[in-house]
Chain A
Amino acid sequence: MLSAKHKTGLVFFPAFDWAISPTHPERQERLLYTQDQVFEEGLFDIEGITEFKPGLVTIEDVQRTHFCVPDPSAVMTESHFISAGGAKTIGTALMEGKIKRGFALVRPPGHHANRVVHGARGFCNVNIEAIMIEHIRHAYGVKRVAIVDTDCHHGDGTQDIYWHDPNTLFISLHQDGRTLYPGSGFLDEMGGPNAIGYTINIPLPPNTSEEGFLYTVKNAVLPIVEEFKPELIINSAGQDNHYSDPITNMNFCAHGYAELTRLLNADIAVLEGGYSIEGALPYVNTGIIMAMAGLDYSHFREPDYDPEKICQRPHVTRQIKETCDAAIALWQQRKVLAGQVRSEKGLSRRTRQIYYDTDGIQEHQTEIVKICGNCAGALLIDSSTNEQAHILAVHIPPDACYECRQQGLKWFEKAGADNFQRIYLQDRTTDRYQIKKQSI
């Protein structure tokens, strides 16, 4: 009798009646053939693999992570509540010891969603991993979390949410931002002054194959994760590095994904992108589930797998090695760098333009963080859009020190409601979310 080596939980929510638009890659059909393959393989019948029905996330869950403008129901559909809920269901099952590993095979995805949400970008509205993680932190007191984003696109939303948090290690492997949406994720994006070095970007050249991905995991990702000593490892498991993916240029394969999953040994994987719905997803998802459950996937190949066709060129291999070396070097210098950026006490400011490609919104954001050696720092965000939204948001991190908490509360109190449509306070020390509205 076939049985899983590790008790593995799955939430499968293909949202068969939800699409961004009829011909959009994020459409009803996306996980249809994955379902066919997973069902036909009989994976849910295997002893030790359990399928869970997704729960829904609550508004409170969303507001623990995001500032949704004007509110969560305006930027989320039912399907977002379910996909984030699916991730939460897996997180809960893991924390309650029902499973040892979990995979939220859900859509729509989330890793391009920032802390402030005005709409959809990169097919994402809310960050389903972050909502899950912040729920786990809140409900179970987990502190140190490592997120390894293996989607082909830079996980810029997750990076934004954890930019200042030294308790969250965020590593993103992706196709070089000079060649692919969202055009970010370079080595020098390393985190804010309070968490410098805890955001690690490893941009990989187009045409990276199994060899290059596994090299990166073994030589850069795993050593860093090991040193970070997380309580939980989360994999943002995008499947668009596949050689058949229509919107990217990589050469990864199903067997490689399974191998990566085994090496990474994540507690939880959450599905992100992947749009080769027939040629890749059925096989990649099956491979990931088999690897998570500890089943033998050594003979697992896509029907059209041809190693010669996707063989990695020497210059690609060289470039990957250089990038990995550079990433490791930056990680090792993080304390020195922190000393440098924190030498000036006070506030640190950054100003950004954020484009919401899916919804066509242009956001202008100024972010101020209190430089702090003791916590993630109080955070103030002034955000406006070309659609006339203008809000101010104050985030007090869960582990905020006394000064940062006071700073955050002061910002919120002093902010004039006449200058903004809404002023938000997300005080994670007391799990409080408060809104001041413009008087009309």
Chain B
Amino acid sequence: MIIGLDVGGTHTDVVLISAQGLVAEAKVPTDFSNLFNTVLDGLNCVTLGINIQKIRRLVLSTTLTTNLVVQNKLPAVGMVTAAGPGIDPALFHPHPHYYKTAGALDHRGREIEPLDEKRLPEIGLKLKQSGVRYAGVVTKFSVRNPEHEKRMAAALAPFCEHVFMGHQFSGALNFPRRIATTYLNAAVYPSHKQFFEFVQKSLNQQGLGVPIRILKPDGGNMQFDASLDYPAQTILSGPSASVMGALAYAPRGNTSLVIDIGGTTTDMAVLVNGVPLLARSGIEIGPYKTSIRAMLTHSIGVGGDSVVRVQNGAITIGPDRAGCAMAYGGSSPTPTDAFCVLGRADFRADRKRAAEGLAPIAQMLEVPVQEAAERIFRKACVQILEGAQKMVDHINSKPVYTVHEMVEDIQIQPDHILVLGGPAEQFAEKLATLFDGKVATVPHYHVANAIGCALASTTCEVCIYADTARKILTAPSENISKKISPDFSMRDCRDIALRLLREKALRHGAHPDSLEMEIIEQSQFNMIRGFQTIGKNIRVRAQVKPGLIHGYDPKTEKLMRDDL
């Protein structure tokens, strides 16, 4: 049996899935002041009367780290960088415990300025004296040669509880994002560690011994012990939970749009042939642009509780929200009130109040209230579809760097929409009239996010850079730097990438028999100096695709695996 739990802004959703299918589901209010209780309450709701020994997998998606970042409740972190030519890294994010040391590498990882190691103990001491317990070290081009970062981390280690190194998190070239990513990892580390150790301990005491898995924003999970190396990979996992919940129902061979309609916003993602598209660079949260792998999502300020207005004779919806719908005691008219007037709300809604709320709008539009409700509803759907088109246009205008890709010019256009979230049913019906393709609600759409958590498989990524002129290979995030021979080839590089990826995936909790690995980027350049070929410059990126665990049958919605 598997438990999936997703902490949301208002509710926390929990499901229990077994060989009999979805056997229990629950919604508990999220208490941000006590997330720990929220999580345990949620778990208790679905384990009532169940032999918890039979629970083999437990996947959590929480807003713990997201909230720390958004509410700026991060502890002091020491950041030390070494940069060389370029933009002054101090400009990227002003920081009270920021230090710069001399030392620089170039684009091929060659040292162009030796690292000033003498300064580091002095910096370490200053951090210690200021009570800073966590630190991050980042150098420019560390993904091509992590040596400077390693030496910096070693020099600071005696003064700090944990030092994070930039090259551990992503093989991508982007120094500012590497700084932000390293900073966030160091900053959320203590809370993340404390929280999940506490949860794990409590569960163990109740007899639930399976290791906790945590959902990531790329739609995959990782085991708690692995997450201690990448604690910031738990930030913004919410949207990916919903997408994974919809994924089982996305038809293969199609391009599907997943639309999650909430109270305040509508979040969207795109599935191509059942696989979510990932963001090009990484998540962005508050002032931080990071290299944290994430699904490509787009959020617009249209939801069931968005404020409806008439401006210049036209209806506008959102992007703001002022409490709940009038039908539920709020003070501003909302799309939910429109549903209510149209007789589409649940029994708790006050239809009279909803109609009163829409009356001024109807008056301004000079139409009956019923007609106004119809128009509001339509307008909300139109805004959602426009938002979706904007996202698709953005995906299609992604720059490419080869003639081949330009000529091929792959463009996506969704032909299928999967709707989830509270008002999924009402919206799906209307969207179907406005969209040229199939529109369906996701089964169990009210808890699809928790189902997504439960069923997400383990994902990870590996990047390799090989330079046969320098005879070196580095897989920065895997802590591997080794000598290669001058005849090292792309094939060798791919083999190593896939081997390292497999090892990493298993370490993070993947099932060895059902790994869906793929090479997502590969390039090879002959390096010519004068008129001689001096070597090859090879870059390979490989990933375990986000997807559902092996052994779940979406048709019967049952688990077909004995070990789960």
Chain A residues within 8 Å of B, Cβ to Cβ: 1-2, 11-18, 22-23, 27-29, 32-33, 35-37, 39-42, 45, 51-54, 56, 77-79, 82, 246, 254, 278, 282-283, 286, 290, 295-296, 299-304
| CB-defined A-B contacts under 8 Å, sample of 21 | A16-B523, A18-B403, A28-B526, A29-B528, A33-B107, A36-B107, A36-B141, A40-B174, A40-B175, A42-B289, A45-B174, A45-B289, A51-B399, A52-B397, A52-B399, A53-B400, A278-B107, A286-B86, A290-B87, A299-B88, A303-B106
Which B residues touch A56, using CB under 8 A? 406
Contact between A303 and B113, CB atoms less than 8 A apart: yes
Query: Given A32-B537, A41-B175, A51-B399, 14 other A-B contacts at CB below 8 A?
Result: A1-B287, A2-B87, A16-B401, A22-B533, A29-B527, A40-B175, A42-B92, A45-B177, A52-B399, A78-B403, A78-B407, A79-B403, A278-B106, A278-B108
Which B residues touch A254, using CB under 8 A? 85
Task: Tell me the complex Cα distance, A190–B175, Å.
Answer: 47
Among candidates B84, B87, B527, residue contacting A303 with C-beta atoms closer than 8 Å: B84
Which A residues touch B407, using CB under 8 A? 78
Task: Tell me the complex Cα distance, A200–B429, Å.
Answer: 68
Among candidates A29, A41, A82, residue contacting B537 with C-beta atoms closer than 8 Å: A29
Chain B residues within 8 Å of A, Cβ to Cβ: 84-88, 91-93, 104, 106-108, 112-113, 140-141, 172-177, 281, 287, 289, 397-404, 406-407, 523, 525-528, 530-533, 537
Known: A40-B175, A45-B176. A15 touches B87 (CB 8 A): no
Known: A36-B173, A53-B399, A301-B85. A17 touches B404 (CB 8 A): yes
Known: A40-B107, A40-B174, A45-B289. A295 touches B87 (CB 8 A): yes
Which B residues touch A45, using CB under 8 A? 174, 176-177, 281, 289
Task: Tell me the complex Cα distance, A299–B107, Å.
Answer: 18
Task: Tell me the complex Cα distance, A56–B400, Å.
Answer: 13
Task: Tell me the complex Cα distance, A39–B172, Å.
Answer: 9
Which B residues touch A13, using CB under 8 A? 399, 401, 406
9 tightest A-B CB contacts, nearest first: A303-B112, A42-B176, A36-B107, A39-B173, A40-B173, A17-B402, A53-B399, A29-B525, A16-B402
Among candidates B88, B398, B403, residue contacting A53 with C-beta atoms closer than 8 Å: B398
Among candidates B86, B175, B406, B527, residue contacting A54 with C-beta atoms closer than 8 Å: B406
Contact between A29 and B107, CB atoms less than 8 A apart: no
Task: Determine how close the nearest CB of chain A comes to the CB of B190; give it in whole angstroms.
Answer: 26
Contact between A39 and B525, CB atoms less than 8 A apart: no
Task: Determine how close the nearest CB of chain B comes to the CB of A355; give it in whole angstroms.
Answer: 22
Contact between A14 and B87, CB atoms less than 8 A apart: no
Task: Determine how close the nearest CB of chain A comes to the CB of B404; give it in whole angstroms.
Answer: 5
Nearest-CB residue, chain A, relative to B107? A36
Contact between A35 and B177, CB atoms less than 8 A apart: no
Task: Tell me the complex Cα distance, A301–B402, Å.
Answer: 30
Main secondary structure of the interface of B (DSSP, over half): loop
Task: Determine how close the nearest CB of chain A comes to the CB of B402; give it in whole angstroms.
Answer: 4
Which A residues touch B531, using CB under 8 A? 23
Contact between A282 and B107, CB atoms less than 8 A apart: yes
Contact between A23 and B399, CB atoms less than 8 A apart: no
Contact between A40 and B85, CB atoms less than 8 A apart: no
Contact between B140 and A40, CB atoms less than 8 A apart: yes
Task: Tell me the complex Cα distance, A418–B398, Å.
Answer: 50
Give the interface centre of A39, A40, A56, A300 by most chain B CB atoms within 10 Å: A40
Task: Determine how close the nearest CB of chain B comes to the CB of A288; give it in whole angstroms.
Answer: 13
Which B residues touch A28, using CB under 8 A? 525-526
Task: Determine how close the nearest CB of chain B comes to the CB of A20; give it in whole angstroms.
Answer: 12
Give the interface centre of B174, B281, B406, B533 by most chain A CB atoms within 10 Å: B406
Contact between B403 and A82, CB atoms less than 8 A apart: yes
Which B residues touch A302, using CB under 8 A? 85
Contact between A303 and B397, CB atoms less than 8 A apart: no
Task: Determine how close the nearest CB of chain A comes to the CB of B536; give it in whole angstroms.
Answer: 10
Task: Tell me the complex Cα distance, A293–B401, Å.
Answer: 22
Which B residues touch A40, using CB under 8 A? 86, 107, 140-141, 173-175
Known: A296-B88, A303-B84. A23 touches B533 (CB 8 A): yes
Contact between A53 and B397, CB atoms less than 8 A apart: yes
Which B residues touch A23, using CB under 8 A? 528, 531-533
Contact between B88 and A16, CB atoms less than 8 A apart: no
Nearest-CB residue, chain A, relative to B407? A78
Task: Tell me the complex Cα distance, A14–B399, Å.
Answer: 11
Which A residues touch B398, using CB under 8 A? 53
Contact between B86 and A32, CB atoms less than 8 A apart: no
Known: A13-B401, A302-B85. A42 touches B528 (CB 8 A): no
Among candidates A14, A18, A296, A303, residue contacting B85 with C-beta atoms closer than 8 Å: A303
Known: A32-B525, A42-B177, A296-B88. A15 touches B537 (CB 8 A): no
Task: Tell me the complex Cα distance, A282–B104, Å.
Answer: 15
Task: Tell me the complex Cα distance, A254–B533, Å.
Answer: 27
Nearest-CB residue, chain A, relative to B94? A1
Task: Tell me the complex Cα distance, A302–B85, Å.
Answer: 7
Known: A15-B402, A16-B401, A53-B397. A39 touches B523 (CB 8 A): no
Task: Determine how close the nearest CB of chain A comes to the CB of B83; give it in whole angstroms.
Answer: 10
Task: Tell me the complex Cα distance, A12–B398, Å.
Answer: 11
Which B residues touch A27, using CB under 8 A? 526, 528
Task: Determine how close the nearest CB of chain B comes to the CB of A105; give it in whole angstroms.
Answer: 11
Known: A36-B107, A303-B113. A2 touches B91 (CB 8 A): yes
Task: Tell me the complex Cα distance, A59–B523, Å.
Answer: 31
Task: Determine how close the nearest CB of chain A comes to the CB of B275; give it in whole angstroms.
Answer: 23
Task: Tell me the complex Cα distance, A32–B141, Å.
Answer: 14
Which B residues touch A82, using CB under 8 A? 403, 406
Task: Tell me the complex Cα distance, A73–B400, Å.
Answer: 22
Task: Determine how close the nearest CB of chain A comes to the CB of B77; give it in whole angstroms.
Answer: 18
Task: Determine how close the nearest CB of chain B comes to the CB of A40; give it in whole angstroms.
Answer: 4
Which A residues touch B91, using CB under 8 A? 2
Which A residues touch B289, using CB under 8 A? 42, 45
Which B residues touch A296, using CB under 8 A? 87-88
Task: Tell me the complex Cα distance, A56–B405, Å.
Answer: 13
Among candidates B104, B403, B526, residue contacting A15 with C-beta atoms closer than 8 Å: B403
Among candidates A2, A39, A299, residue contacting B92 with C-beta atoms closer than 8 Å: A2
Nearest-CB residue, chain A, relative to B112? A303
Nearest-CB residue, chain A, relative to B287? A1
Task: Tell me the complex Cα distance, A11–B399, Å.
Answer: 8
Task: Tell me the complex Cα distance, A299–B102, Å.
Answer: 14
Known: A39-B174, A40-B174, A282-B107. A12 touches B401 (CB 8 A): yes
Task: Tell me the complex Cα distance, A13–B281, Å.
Answer: 18
Nearest-CB residue, chain A, relative to B141? A40
Which A residues touch B104, using CB under 8 A? 303
Give the interface centre of B91, B407, B528 by most chain A CB atoms within 10 Å: B528
Task: Tell me the complex Cα distance, A303–B112, Å.
Answer: 6
Contact between B403 and A17, CB atoms less than 8 A apart: yes
Contact between A14 and B525, CB atoms less than 8 A apart: no
